[in-house]
Amino acid sequence: MEYFNEHKIIIFRTLGSLMLVISLAAFFWTAPKKGFSENEIAAANVARMEARMAGQNGIAQKEKPKKSPFLKKYKDMQEKQMRYALIVLMITGGMFLLYSFLKKDA
């Protein structure tokens, strides 16, 4: 306990800055990516049509099963929870950092 009391400021500053940097990096790393341009979408559609025409000459292709609506809701909820957790981690890191700079009357 003595070690903690002696190095409290350094511990709080290190912990706060580490939490803040990691949460900011993870927050922006998981940010949604920019959508495709119209040319990229058109090129993908043409490639899909060509592949489908080439597939009709050969073996019939199976249709892929659609994703369950429950799975989609689960993934969306999981993504929201991760965003909220990162925001809470940022706030906590900022509070640790701010607390380390406050003057204490001892």
What the block records as the tokens of 75 is 């993934």
pLDDT for 60 equals 53
pLDDT for 106 equals 53
pLDDT for 69 equals 84
Burial (CB count <10 Å: 0-12, 13-18, 19+), residue 60: exposed
Q: How far apart are CA 16 and CA 102, in angstroms?
A: 13
- Please report, in tens digits, the pLDDT of each residue of the chain (106 residues total): 888 888 888 999 999 999 999 998 988 887 777 777 788 888 888 888 888 887 765 555 566 667 788 988 998 999 899 999 999 999 999 999 999 888 776 5
Q: How far apart are CA 44 and CA 9, in angstroms?
A: 56
Give the start-to-end residue ranges of the domains of the chain: 2-101
